[in-house]
Amino acid sequence: SGERVYVTGTFVNWERKFKLHRDRETGVFSAVLQLKPGTHHLKFLVGGDMVTSDELPTTVDYTNILVNYIEVVAPLPQSQQQPPAPAEPMPIPGAAVTAGQATATGEPAARPLDIRTEARAPETVADIPSAVPSGAASEFNPTAAPPAEQDDSKSVPQRSQPEPKSTGPPKQRGLRPKYTNQIPAYLLHLDVNNPEDERFQRAKAVEGHLPQPPSLPMFLGKSILNATTPHKDDASVLTMPNHTVLNHLATSSIKNGVLATSGTTRYKRKFLTTIMHKPTSEKG
């Protein structure tokens, strides 16, 4: 039709407009813009009139004007981290190594640490490397204790023996619970309905007159709660109440014996709506 179509919005603070180009084959107007991540309000300028598009979701801005909005989600950064290379083992001076693996510094090979708890035969003099002359080695006994400590060692055992476990009667394992369809006898008496009981007669009288309970609470039927929410929390995409309903009591029609009342208040630019539900009948 020869009309020029422009778009403007909060992404340029409503100060600039961008022209939309029409596709000759499809007749669709489009434009490519670089927008920051977030929620942006926008409107279209067609033939000098500000209009909204039916293809985009609408909302009301802080001036109670109907606008379109779009949400731009930031792309996830691609992880370019590589798995760290395994650390090379570092030689520790004095560490326990086996025979033939002494370091190049000339240190003697350390004996491997024996962490076994069971008793083993005492080591002989030939097994322990020493710089003592051979003549003195015959007089040195590594297993013999000093004379002053021989008397004390008689009363103190060299190695504590584990106490024998008490052999008591074997523990009886409890029976595993099983599912059954038989009701225990002590529960059958609790479930008996006495026809002469006053409470049973009252419950039987209203059994056929009570309506079915509602499938959902009434406030779940509101479109504002069932509408799709954006990826980020943004209160600007919610429907803003009109100023004429502030501080007024609103009631709904009675459904399933329940009456809903609500009231809306405002503090600066924030609105608070309170909804209360009350049954219309005290019976039941």
Q: Where is average pLDDT lowest: 24-38, 55-69, 157-171, 244-258?
A: 157-171
What confidence score (pLDDT) does residue 9 get?
Answer: 92
Kindly state whether residue 230 falls inside one of the protein's structural domains: no
- The mean pLDDT value for 30-58 works out to 89
Kindly state whether residue 16 falls inside one of the protein's structural domains: yes
Answer with the residue of higher pLDDT: 92 or 54.
Answer: 54
pLDDT-based confidence at 219, cuts 50/70/90?
A: low
Model confidence pLDDT, tens digit, residues 76-102: 776 655 566 677 777 666 555 554 554
Say if strands 49-51 and 58-60 run parallel, antiparallel, or are unpaired: unpaired
What confidence score (pLDDT) does residue 256 get?
Answer: 86
Q: Could you tell me the CA-to-CA distances from 216 to 25, 189, 219, 255, 256 in Å, in that order?
A: 48, 36, 8, 12, 11
**Boundary-marking domain end, from 41, 57, 72:** 72
Q: Where is average pLDDT lowest: 7-11, 38-42, 110-114?
A: 110-114
- The mean pLDDT value for 101-128 works out to 52
**Boundary-marking domain end, from 47, 72, 97:** 72
Exposed / middle / buried, residue 72 (Cβ in 10 Å: 0-12, 13-18, 19+): middle
- Cα dihedral 9, 11, 14, 19, rounded to 10, equals -60
252 lies in which domain range? 241-284
Number of domains in the chain: 2
First-to-last C-alpha distance (Å) of the chain:
67
Kindly state whether residue 34 falls inside one of the protein's structural domains: yes
Task: Let me know: does 224 contact 238? Beta carbons within 8 Å.
Answer: yes
What confidence score (pLDDT) does residue 41 get?
Answer: 92
Q: At 281, which CATH number?
A: 2.20.25.290
Kindly state whether residue 147 falls inside one of the protein's structural domains: no
Share of the chain above pLDDT 70, in %: 56
**Boundary-marking domain end, from 72, 105, 130:** 72
Kindly state whether residue 124 falls inside one of the protein's structural domains: no
Kindly state whether residue 78 falls inside one of the protein's structural domains: no
Kindly state whether residue 139 falls inside one of the protein's structural domains: no
Model confidence pLDDT, tens digit, residues 130-173: 444 544 444 445 454 555 444 444 454 555 555 656 666 677 77
Q: At 10, which CATH number?
A: 2.60.40.10
Q: Could you tell me the CA-to-CA distances from 82 to 75, 88, 169 in Å, in that order?
A: 21, 18, 60
d(CA 63, CA 50): 15
DSSP 96: B
pTM score: 0.30
- The mean pLDDT value for 110-139 works out to 51
DSSP strand E in 146-247: where? none
Q: Could you tell me the CA-to-CA distances from 162 to 92, 118, 154, 194 in Å, in that order?
A: 37, 12, 19, 68
Exposed / middle / buried, residue 224 (Cβ in 10 Å: 0-12, 13-18, 19+): exposed
Kindly state whether residue 39 falls inside one of the protein's structural domains: yes
pLDDT-based confidence at 280, cuts 50/70/90?
A: confident
Share of the chain above pLDDT 90, in %: 6
